[in-house]
Amino acid sequence: MNIIVCIKQVPNTNEVRIDPVRGTLIRDGVPSIINPDDRNALEEALRIKDQYEDVKVIVLSMGPPQADAALREAIAMGADEGILLTDRAFAGSDTWATSTALAAGIKHIGDYSIIFCGRQAIDGDTAQVGPQIAEHLGLPQITYVEELKIEGNKVIAKRALEDGYFVIESEMPVLLTAIKESNQPRYPSIRGVYDAYKGDKVRLVSAKDINADFDNVGLEGSPTQVNRSFTPSGRTGQGEIFQGDHKESVKKLVLRLREKHLV
């Protein structure tokens, strides 16, 4: 059984500072990490590998050549191999273009039972790429997976909601997205680090190699337009005091809250 885990290399936002004038992220010198939710997805995949025989975990990423380090780190954690979709044609991709490219990459790999993604990336927070991949490939999807069981050719997942959960069953192949509550990812082992850099464990793949749809990848293929990036200024709303008769005040308060759609 092959499990493909999609990972993204992101700047460690704990260490990112914001340029106070331009309102943009200062990424210079900020170390890159595997997106945290993607590490949860990888951990979930590795647990399946620990539990069952003949499970192969393939990590897939789209990104610049430096993203190699993220794939090697995933291999040091226990993944079997890495595939990096890297091509100038992919530069500037939004979530649509990214999911198009990743879906093409997954088709290129071919044989898979589970595709695992993290819920969302800390540098974009869209949570769109996973579900879009499932749509591109015509696969069932279960997002926000907190717990996972495999039974025969089915997965049974606990899907977390804000105030409860669903238990959802799906046949494989299926796309799942993991949340941070799903597990505590393991550290890469030190021997794993040295093994990850031995031999040919990460394969570089170009847009051509995967027959990418050039109209739907990269900046040109991205329908999203970024108008402006800015830091929202602090709320400047003023407090309102209702005075006089209690009953009247409460009435006024409830009215105001209704106006603001807060109740």
Partner 1 sequence: MDFNLSKEQLMVRNIMREFTENEVKPIAAEIDKTERFPRETVEKMAKYNMMGIPFPAEYGGAGGDDLAYAIAVEELSKSCATTGVILSAHTSLACWPIYKYGTEEQKQKYLVPLAKGEYLGAFGLTEPNAGTDAASQQTTAVLDGENYILNGTKIFITNGGESDVYIIFAMTDKAKGTRGISAFIVEKDFPGFSIGKIEEKMGIRASSTAELIFQNCIVPKENLLGKEGEGFKIAMSTLDGGRIGIAAQALGIAAGALEETIKYVKERQQFGRPISKFQGLQWMIADMATEIDAARLLVYRAAFNKSSGLPYGKEAAMAKLYASECAMNVTTKCVQLFGGYGYTKDYPMERMMRDAKITEIYEGTSQVQQMVIAAAVLK
Least distance from partner 1 to the Cβ atom of residue 193, Å: 5
Q: Which stretch binds partner 1 (CB under 8 A): 83-91, 97-105, 144-152, 185-193?
A: 185-193
Query: Cβ neighbours of residue 210 under 8 Å, at least 6 residues apart?
Result: 85, 101, 104, 105, 107, 108
29 binds partner 1 (CB under 8 A): no
Nearer to partner 1, 76 or 104 (CB): 76
187 binds partner 1 (CB under 8 A): yes
Least distance from partner 1 to the Cβ atom of residue 73, Å: 6
Which of 137, 130, 146 lies closest to 173, judged by CA? 137
192 binds partner 1 (CB under 8 A): yes
Nearer to partner 1, 77 or 207 (CB): 77
Least distance from partner 1 to the Cβ atom of residue 258, Å: 43
Nearer to partner 1, 81 or 209 (CB): 81
Q: Which stretch binds partner 1 (CB under 8 A): 67-75, 108-116, 118-126, 234-242?
A: 67-75
194 binds partner 1 (CB under 8 A): yes
Which of 47, 74, 15 lies closest to 192, judged by CA? 74
Least distance from partner 1 to the Cβ atom of residue 178, Å: 19
50 binds partner 1 (CB under 8 A): no
Q: Which stretch binds partner 1 (CB under 8 A): 70-78, 135-143, 153-161, 169-177?
A: 70-78
Which contacts qualify for 132-137: CB closer than 8 Å, 24 or more apart? 132/95, 132/96, 132/99, 132/100, 132/103, 133/6, 133/99, 133/102, 133/103, 133/106, 133/175, 134/175, 135/99, 136/99, 136/100, 136/103, 137/103, 137/106, 137/107, 137/175
Binding site for partner 1 (CB under 8 A): 31, 33, 69, 72-73, 76, 187-195, 197
